[in-house]
Amino acid sequence: MTDQIAIHTQGLTKHYGDVKALVDLDLDIIKGEVFGFLGPNGAGKTTMIRTILDEIRPTAGSASILGMDTHRQSVEIRDHIGYVPGDLAMYPNLTGRDTLTFFANLRGGVDWEFVDELAERLGADLDKKVGDLSSGNRQKVGLIQAFMNRPDLLVMDEPSSGLDPLVQREFQKMMREVASEGRTVFLSSHTLSEVQRVADRVGIIRQGHLIAVEGVADLRSKAIRTVNLFFDEPVEQGVFVGLPGVRDVAVENHHVTLSFDGQMETLLRVAAERYSLLDISTHEADLEEIFLTYYEEGGA
Protein backbone atom coordinates (compact mmCIF):
# COMPACT_ATOMS: atom_id res chain seq x y z
CA MET A 1 0.00 0.00 0.00
CA THR A 2 2.75 2.47 0.91
CA ASP A 3 4.03 2.38 -2.67
CA GLN A 4 0.68 3.83 -3.70
CA ILE A 5 1.17 6.91 -1.55
CA ALA A 6 2.51 10.09 -3.14
CA ILE A 7 2.52 12.27 -0.02
CA HIS A 8 2.34 11.06 3.55
CA THR A 9 2.30 13.31 6.58
CA GLN A 10 2.25 12.26 10.18
CA GLY A 11 1.53 14.66 12.99
CA LEU A 12 2.92 17.45 10.86
CA THR A 13 2.91 20.63 12.91
CA LYS A 14 4.29 24.12 12.40
CA HIS A 15 4.13 26.95 14.89
CA TYR A 16 5.34 30.47 14.24
CA GLY A 17 5.69 31.73 17.80
CA ASP A 18 2.13 31.68 19.11
CA VAL A 19 0.62 31.12 15.67
CA LYS A 20 -0.32 27.50 15.10
CA ALA A 21 -0.11 27.51 11.31
CA LEU A 22 -0.36 23.73 10.99
CA VAL A 23 -1.57 21.35 13.70
CA ASP A 24 -0.99 17.61 13.79
CA LEU A 25 -1.68 16.97 10.11
CA ASP A 26 -2.14 13.33 9.13
CA LEU A 27 -2.75 13.04 5.43
CA ASP A 28 -2.15 10.52 2.65
CA ILE A 29 -2.31 11.58 -0.99
CA ILE A 30 -2.69 8.63 -3.30
CA LYS A 31 -0.74 8.28 -6.53
CA GLY A 32 -2.77 9.13 -9.58
CA GLU A 33 -5.21 11.47 -7.89
CA VAL A 34 -5.82 15.16 -8.08
CA PHE A 35 -6.10 16.27 -4.49
CA GLY A 36 -7.59 19.67 -3.75
CA PHE A 37 -6.38 21.35 -0.57
CA LEU A 38 -8.99 23.92 0.25
CA GLY A 39 -8.99 26.65 2.82
CA PRO A 40 -9.32 30.38 3.18
CA ASN A 41 -6.40 32.78 3.43
CA GLY A 42 -4.22 32.03 6.40
CA ALA A 43 -5.57 28.49 6.85
CA GLY A 44 -2.11 26.92 6.59
CA LYS A 45 -1.99 25.71 2.98
CA THR A 46 1.28 27.40 2.07
CA THR A 47 2.82 26.35 5.37
CA MET A 48 1.95 22.73 4.65
CA ILE A 49 3.44 22.90 1.16
CA ARG A 50 6.61 24.67 2.27
CA THR A 51 7.05 22.15 5.06
CA ILE A 52 6.77 19.07 2.84
CA LEU A 53 9.15 20.67 0.33
CA ASP A 54 11.67 21.19 3.13
CA GLU A 55 11.71 24.96 2.71
CA ILE A 56 10.79 25.25 6.37
CA ARG A 57 11.26 22.78 9.19
CA PRO A 58 8.22 21.46 11.02
CA THR A 59 7.83 22.07 14.75
CA ALA A 60 6.83 18.40 15.04
CA GLY A 61 5.92 15.46 12.88
CA SER A 62 7.28 14.18 9.61
CA ALA A 63 6.42 13.75 5.97
CA SER A 64 7.44 11.66 3.00
CA ILE A 65 7.04 12.14 -0.72
CA LEU A 66 7.01 9.06 -2.96
CA GLY A 67 8.33 7.09 -0.01
CA MET A 68 11.28 9.44 0.60
CA ASP A 69 11.74 11.45 3.77
CA THR A 70 11.09 15.08 2.92
CA HIS A 71 14.04 16.34 4.94
CA ARG A 72 16.73 13.68 4.58
CA GLN A 73 15.99 12.98 0.91
CA SER A 74 14.94 16.44 -0.17
CA VAL A 75 17.45 16.58 -3.02
CA GLU A 76 16.29 13.30 -4.54
CA ILE A 77 12.69 14.36 -4.16
CA ARG A 78 13.34 17.48 -6.24
CA ASP A 79 13.92 15.30 -9.28
CA HIS A 80 10.40 13.96 -9.07
CA ILE A 81 8.31 17.03 -8.44
CA GLY A 82 7.08 20.05 -10.29
CA TYR A 83 6.33 22.98 -8.02
CA VAL A 84 4.35 26.13 -8.56
CA PRO A 85 4.91 28.31 -5.49
CA GLY A 86 2.49 31.06 -4.56
CA ASP A 87 5.15 33.64 -5.38
CA LEU A 88 7.48 32.27 -8.03
CA ALA A 89 10.52 34.50 -8.36
CA MET A 90 11.72 35.11 -11.92
CA TYR A 91 14.30 37.40 -13.43
CA PRO A 92 12.33 40.20 -15.10
CA ASN A 93 14.87 40.67 -17.89
CA LEU A 94 14.75 37.08 -19.09
CA THR A 95 12.19 35.97 -21.65
CA GLY A 96 9.87 33.09 -20.86
CA ARG A 97 12.05 30.83 -22.97
CA ASP A 98 15.22 31.87 -21.15
CA THR A 99 13.44 31.47 -17.83
CA LEU A 100 12.46 27.92 -18.71
CA THR A 101 16.00 27.19 -19.88
CA PHE A 102 17.24 28.47 -16.55
CA PHE A 103 14.86 26.24 -14.61
CA ALA A 104 15.54 23.28 -16.89
CA ASN A 105 19.29 23.58 -16.50
CA LEU A 106 18.81 23.06 -12.79
CA ARG A 107 17.48 19.62 -13.69
CA GLY A 108 18.94 18.75 -17.06
CA GLY A 109 17.50 19.64 -20.43
CA VAL A 110 14.31 20.97 -21.95
CA ASP A 111 11.96 19.10 -24.22
CA TRP A 112 11.13 22.17 -26.33
CA GLU A 113 8.53 20.37 -28.34
CA PHE A 114 6.61 19.62 -25.17
CA VAL A 115 7.21 23.12 -23.81
CA ASP A 116 5.84 24.67 -27.01
CA GLU A 117 2.82 22.42 -26.80
CA LEU A 118 2.17 23.52 -23.21
CA ALA A 119 2.73 27.17 -24.17
CA GLU A 120 0.28 26.88 -27.00
CA ARG A 121 -2.38 25.28 -24.82
CA LEU A 122 -2.06 27.98 -22.18
CA GLY A 123 -1.60 30.81 -24.64
CA ALA A 124 1.79 31.72 -23.14
CA ASP A 125 4.13 34.09 -24.95
CA LEU A 126 7.62 32.77 -24.25
CA ASP A 127 9.43 35.40 -26.28
CA LYS A 128 8.57 38.38 -24.09
CA LYS A 129 10.56 39.38 -21.05
CA VAL A 130 8.75 38.01 -18.03
CA GLY A 131 9.01 41.44 -16.39
CA ASP A 132 6.80 42.81 -19.18
CA LEU A 133 4.11 40.18 -18.73
CA SER A 134 0.89 40.56 -16.77
CA SER A 135 0.78 38.48 -13.62
CA GLY A 136 -1.52 35.93 -15.29
CA ASN A 137 0.81 35.57 -18.26
CA ARG A 138 3.81 35.28 -15.97
CA GLN A 139 1.93 32.60 -14.05
CA LYS A 140 1.67 30.58 -17.28
CA VAL A 141 5.47 30.47 -17.45
CA GLY A 142 5.43 29.22 -13.87
CA LEU A 143 2.97 26.47 -14.77
CA ILE A 144 5.04 25.39 -17.77
CA GLN A 145 8.20 25.09 -15.67
CA ALA A 146 6.30 22.78 -13.31
CA PHE A 147 4.77 20.59 -16.03
CA MET A 148 7.63 20.47 -18.50
CA ASN A 149 9.63 17.68 -16.84
CA ARG A 150 6.57 15.44 -16.59
CA PRO A 151 7.04 15.13 -12.82
CA ASP A 152 5.58 12.27 -10.79
CA LEU A 153 4.08 14.80 -8.41
CA LEU A 154 2.89 18.34 -9.08
CA VAL A 155 2.59 20.58 -6.04
CA MET A 156 0.87 23.85 -6.78
CA ASP A 157 0.02 26.68 -4.43
CA GLU A 158 -3.02 28.54 -5.74
CA PRO A 159 -1.82 28.20 -9.30
CA SER A 160 -4.90 29.54 -11.06
CA SER A 161 -4.70 33.05 -9.68
CA GLY A 162 -4.75 35.56 -12.50
CA LEU A 163 -5.62 33.05 -15.23
CA ASP A 164 -8.69 33.86 -17.28
CA PRO A 165 -11.50 31.28 -17.29
CA LEU A 166 -10.65 29.69 -20.66
CA VAL A 167 -7.03 29.21 -19.63
CA GLN A 168 -8.19 27.83 -16.31
CA ARG A 169 -10.22 25.20 -18.19
CA GLU A 170 -7.21 24.19 -20.23
CA PHE A 171 -5.08 24.07 -17.12
CA GLN A 172 -7.67 21.83 -15.47
CA LYS A 173 -7.51 19.48 -18.45
CA MET A 174 -3.75 19.37 -18.09
CA MET A 175 -4.10 18.38 -14.44
CA ARG A 176 -6.57 15.62 -15.32
CA GLU A 177 -4.17 14.31 -17.95
CA VAL A 178 -1.39 14.13 -15.39
CA ALA A 179 -3.63 12.07 -13.11
CA SER A 180 -4.75 9.80 -15.94
CA GLU A 181 -1.09 8.95 -16.51
CA GLY A 182 -0.87 7.77 -12.89
CA ARG A 183 0.97 10.88 -11.78
CA THR A 184 -0.26 12.97 -8.86
CA VAL A 185 -1.46 16.54 -8.41
CA PHE A 186 -1.59 18.37 -5.10
CA LEU A 187 -3.46 21.58 -5.65
CA SER A 188 -3.99 24.21 -3.00
CA SER A 189 -6.87 26.46 -3.78
CA HIS A 190 -9.58 28.64 -2.44
CA THR A 191 -11.43 28.44 -5.74
CA LEU A 192 -14.04 25.89 -4.87
CA SER A 193 -15.53 25.60 -8.32
CA GLU A 194 -12.13 24.70 -9.71
CA VAL A 195 -11.55 22.00 -7.14
CA GLN A 196 -15.04 20.69 -7.76
CA ARG A 197 -14.24 20.29 -11.45
CA VAL A 198 -10.76 18.91 -11.23
CA ALA A 199 -10.15 17.08 -7.95
CA ASP A 200 -10.86 13.48 -7.00
CA ARG A 201 -10.65 14.24 -3.29
CA VAL A 202 -10.66 17.37 -1.22
CA GLY A 203 -9.08 18.18 2.12
CA ILE A 204 -10.51 21.13 3.96
CA ILE A 205 -8.14 23.02 6.22
CA ARG A 206 -9.08 25.66 8.67
CA GLN A 207 -6.82 27.47 11.14
CA GLY A 208 -4.16 24.81 10.68
CA HIS A 209 -6.53 21.90 11.29
CA LEU A 210 -7.59 19.44 8.66
CA ILE A 211 -11.33 19.36 9.24
CA ALA A 212 -12.45 16.98 6.51
CA VAL A 213 -11.18 14.80 3.71
CA GLU A 214 -13.83 13.71 1.24
CA GLY A 215 -14.23 12.44 -2.28
CA VAL A 216 -15.70 15.19 -4.40
CA ALA A 217 -18.49 12.85 -5.45
CA ASP A 218 -19.26 12.00 -1.80
CA LEU A 219 -19.31 15.65 -0.89
CA ARG A 220 -21.90 16.26 -3.54
CA SER A 221 -23.99 13.26 -2.63
CA LYS A 222 -24.19 14.50 0.94
CA ALA A 223 -25.88 17.43 -0.43
CA ILE A 224 -27.92 19.03 0.81
CA ARG A 225 -30.23 20.98 -1.37
CA THR A 226 -31.01 24.62 -0.98
CA VAL A 227 -34.76 25.09 -0.92
CA ASN A 228 -36.62 28.34 -1.44
CA LEU A 229 -40.27 28.48 -0.42
CA PHE A 230 -42.57 31.39 -1.21
CA PHE A 231 -45.81 31.94 0.68
CA ASP A 232 -48.71 34.34 0.35
CA GLU A 233 -48.17 35.72 3.85
CA PRO A 234 -45.29 36.32 6.26
CA VAL A 235 -44.14 33.10 7.92
CA GLU A 236 -42.54 32.16 11.22
CA GLN A 237 -39.07 30.68 11.27
CA GLY A 238 -40.04 28.35 14.12
CA VAL A 239 -42.27 26.29 11.84
CA PHE A 240 -39.22 25.05 9.92
CA VAL A 241 -36.46 24.99 12.51
CA GLY A 242 -35.95 21.50 13.92
CA LEU A 243 -37.73 19.62 11.11
CA PRO A 244 -35.81 16.49 10.10
CA GLY A 245 -33.12 17.27 7.52
CA VAL A 246 -33.61 21.01 7.77
CA ARG A 247 -30.95 23.51 8.71
CA ASP A 248 -29.85 27.09 8.14
CA VAL A 249 -33.37 28.42 8.01
CA ALA A 250 -33.57 32.05 6.94
CA VAL A 251 -36.91 33.82 6.77
CA GLU A 252 -37.50 37.05 4.99
CA ASN A 253 -41.11 37.99 5.18
CA HIS A 254 -42.92 35.68 2.72
CA HIS A 255 -39.79 33.85 1.65
CA VAL A 256 -37.96 30.99 3.39
CA THR A 257 -34.53 29.66 2.41
CA LEU A 258 -33.19 26.53 4.01
CA SER A 259 -30.69 23.69 3.51
CA PHE A 260 -32.33 20.33 3.27
CA ASP A 261 -31.27 16.70 3.02
CA GLY A 262 -34.47 14.96 4.12
CA GLN A 263 -37.74 13.84 2.54
CA MET A 264 -39.18 16.61 0.41
CA GLU A 265 -42.69 15.31 1.00
CA THR A 266 -42.43 15.90 4.74
CA LEU A 267 -41.16 19.40 4.26
CA LEU A 268 -43.88 20.29 1.80
CA ARG A 269 -46.60 18.83 3.98
CA VAL A 270 -45.53 20.88 6.99
CA ALA A 271 -45.21 24.00 4.87
CA ALA A 272 -48.60 23.56 3.19
CA GLU A 273 -50.39 22.71 6.44
CA ARG A 274 -49.55 26.04 7.97
CA TYR A 275 -49.46 28.40 5.01
CA SER A 276 -50.49 28.74 1.44
CA LEU A 277 -47.45 27.79 -0.60
CA LEU A 278 -47.11 29.83 -3.80
CA ASP A 279 -43.86 28.62 -5.25
CA ILE A 280 -40.86 26.45 -4.54
CA SER A 281 -37.41 26.20 -6.08
CA THR A 282 -34.55 23.90 -5.15
CA HIS A 283 -31.00 23.48 -6.31
CA GLU A 284 -28.18 21.17 -5.38
CA ALA A 285 -25.78 22.83 -3.00
CA ASP A 286 -22.39 23.46 -4.59
CA LEU A 287 -19.12 22.88 -2.87
CA GLU A 288 -19.15 26.43 -1.62
CA GLU A 289 -22.27 25.83 0.40
CA ILE A 290 -21.06 22.44 1.60
CA PHE A 291 -17.78 24.05 2.54
CA LEU A 292 -19.56 26.73 4.56
CA THR A 293 -21.54 24.02 6.30
CA TYR A 294 -18.30 22.32 7.33
CA TYR A 295 -16.96 25.57 8.62
CA GLU A 296 -20.02 26.25 10.70
CA GLU A 297 -19.98 22.74 12.13
CA GLY A 298 -16.27 22.95 12.79
CA GLY A 299 -16.82 25.68 15.38
CA ALA A 300 -14.53 28.64 15.93
Give the footprint of ligand ATP on this chain (CB under 6 A): 16, 19, 21, 39, 41-47, 86
Shortest Å distance, C-beta 223 to ligand ATP? 25
Give 81's Cβ-side CA count (13 Å radius). Answer: 27
Closest listed residue to residue 158, CA positions, set 190, 205, 196: 190
Shortest Å distance, C-beta 16 to ligand ATP? 3
User: In the complex with ligand ATP, which residue's Cβ is closer, 96 or 208?
Assistant: 208
CA distances from 134 to 129, 137, 144 (A): 11, 5, 16
Mark out the alpha helices in the chain (DSSP H runs). Answer: 45-52, 74-78, 96-105, 112-122, 135-147, 165-180, 192-198, 216-221, 264-274, 287-298
Shortest Å distance, C-beta 43 to ligand ATP? 4
Shortest Å distance, C-beta 39 to ligand ATP? 5
User: In the complex with ligand ATP, which residue's Cβ is closer, 47 or 149?
Assistant: 47
User: In the complex with ligand ATP, which residue's Cβ is closer, 18 or 265?
Assistant: 18
For residues 109 and 71, is the Cβ–Cβ distance under 8 A? no
**Coil, helix or strand for 141?**
helix
User: In the complex with ligand ATP, which residue's Cβ is closer, 213 or 239?
Assistant: 213
User: In the complex with ligand ATP, which residue's Cβ is closer, 45 or 201?
Assistant: 45
**Coil, helix or strand for 101?**
helix
Shortest Å distance, C-beta 210 to ligand ATP? 12
CA 150, CA 113: separation in Å to the nearest integer? Answer: 13
